[in-house]
Structure 1
């Protein structure tokens, strides 16, 4: 399976999920579902977050694993945190408009 897109390729707006399907029994659930924040991250950002969790949040361990300096890994984490915070703000703003 390929990564689910979270941004419209035509206008770059946030996509929503309209239908979920069970491959086992064929059941389909329809509605207007938001894409989880984690899935809106790039594949590289998702891999970074997964490594961070596997390292129990140890930036020192992350730095050793990635071969980067501690400050570089800290900056990478801060960038992901900032992106997640912005996405959450946009999601809250979207809910307030509805």
Structure 2
């Protein structure tokens, strides 16, 4: 069976504005909570960036270990992390 991971959309497909969660529902009792909830900051990252963060945590923050596991140079892994840091900082500044 093909496992296709779905990404939670974070931008409007029509106008590209940031999306907000407006409803949450319980599949057990069918309770629904409505309101405006910003997406968590990590959910706003691309799937490959989210995976990088998970791998970073699993490697205890060792970029050297990550470089070995990914088959990349240390400077390349450092640049990937720096790019994610910039993106996170931009997302924090533009709080939804």
TM-score normalised by structure 1 residue count: 0.90
Q: Which residue is equivalent to 1:88? A: 92
- Structure 1 position 4, deviation (Å): 1.5
Structure 1 unmatched ranges of 5 or more: none
- Structure 1 position 35, deviation (Å): 0.4
TM-score normalised by structure 2 residue count: 0.92
Q: Which residue is equivalent to 1:13? A: 17
Question: What per-residue deviation string (whole Å, max 9, x for no partner) do you get for residues 33-64 of structure 1?
Answer: 00001000000000000000000100000000
> Distance in 2 between the 1:2 and 1:72 partners?
27
Superposition CA RMSD, Å: 1.1
- Structure 1 position 79, deviation (Å): 0.1
Question: What per-residue deviation string (whole Å, max 9, x for no partner) do you get for residues 69-94 of structure 1?
Answer: 00000000000000000000011xx5
Which structure 1 residue ranges, 4+ long, deviate > 4 Å from structure 2? none
Structure 2 unmatched ranges of 5 or more: none
